[in-house]
A and B are shown apart, each in its own frame.
Chain A
Amino acid sequence: MFSLTSCLYLSAFLFSVGVYGVLARRNILVILMSLELMLNAVNLAFVAFGRHFAVVDAVGEHRGQIFALMVIAVAAAEAAIGLSILLLIWRKWRTIDVRDLCRMSG
């Protein structure tokens, strides 16, 4: 059934899967991917709400979609920074395990 409610259920499920990935996995790459999954789930909720309450040719018709576009931009910046930090960690310590990254410096 293609409706606002089912879109929100799908979004909630994808978000929970992302939460599981962040908490259960120890591979930094997979944790970053789970973050992307969560951001995407939020995007789906934004767009579904925006579609449901859209008033054509009114101010703020695309507000949900514009917010989702901003979330995409933030996700892109986050991926770039996160992956370059990951590369730095790999070059310094040769590990992608978050358990090994428990020290405050050096």
Chain B
Amino acid sequence: MSPWLQHTIFAVVAALAVIAALLVVTRRNPIYSALFLIIVFGSMSAIFLLLEADFLGFMQLLVYAGAIMVLYLFVIMLINPREGDLPEEGATSDRVFAGGTAALVFCLLWFTIHESKMLTDDPVIFPTLPSLGRSHGSTEAFGLELFHEHLLVFELVSVLILVGIVGAVHLSIRARKSAPEDSVELTSDSSPVDRSEDRAEDRAEDIDRAPRGSGNQEDVTRV
């Protein structure tokens, strides 16, 4: 790929990522935030591909833009927040404080990058890699290094993922157990769920409770 093409693609994709990131944190409706976040992740994936991190670029697309964002969208659909449920965003002083802190962080990072001797001494463009044998960033080279040099880290991360799975399942099971009692306590008019029903019906009851509950104005609890 010619350098000119790389520069152009990077400029377009970086501008897209910047605009979409700003929209993510400023939209009121979380659905729009999630959709703009997908654009940010897609642009990141394109930049990874430009950086010759092929495997990581596709992982980014699969895991972030695919799995994680689908999880977010599912949760947004499940809780289905109405206009009244969305928290009213902070006062101007909050925004000024947050913006000031973010600007401070950016200025610090900018100063560090700008003043870094390592970056100014080296040539600005990325060094070209010799394309011989297995190439840099390919799945084969990446996997060989991952499983030869970093096996322990890989296993530790697998334990972390396992902890995540067990934690999520544990939380949702506790939620299902405590949900009927909560609904009895909160809404006096609705009949309590019959606990002697079989599990499948219980689950179906659980699934369709969320939209009904959020549509009902009396269900809004005092916190």
Contact = CB atoms under 8 A, between A and B. Distances in A.
Interface of A: 1-10, 12-21, 23-27, 29-30, 32-34, 36-37, 40, 43-44, 47-48, 50-52, 54, 56-57, 59-63, 65-66, 68-70, 72-81, 83-88, 90-100
Contact of B98 (A13, A23, A47, A56): A23
A12 B106 contact: yes
A92 B182 contact: yes
Interface of B: 3, 6-7, 9-11, 14, 17-18, 21-22, 24-25, 30, 33-34, 37, 40-41, 44, 47-48, 50-53, 55-56, 59-60, 63-64, 67-68, 71-72, 75-76, 78-79, 81, 85-90, 94-95, 97-99, 101-103, 105-106, 109-110, 113, 119, 122, 124-127, 129-130, 132-133, 136-137, 141-142, 145-146, 149-150, 153, 157, 160-161, 163-165, 167-168, 171-172, 174-175, 178-179, 182, 210, 213-214, 219-221, 223
A15 B210 CA distance: 34
A20 B102 contact: yes
B22 A76 contact: no
Contacts of A98: 87
Looking at chain B's contact residues, the main secondary structure is helix
SS class, residues of chain A in contact with chain B: helix
A59 B149 contact: yes
B170 to A, nearest CB: 9
Given A9-B113, A24-B90, A34 B126 contact: no
B137 A65 contact: yes
Contacts of A44: 44, 47-48
Contact of A40 (B40, B178, B223): B40
A32 B165 CA distance: 18
Contacts of A15: 105-106, 109
B37 A33 contact: yes
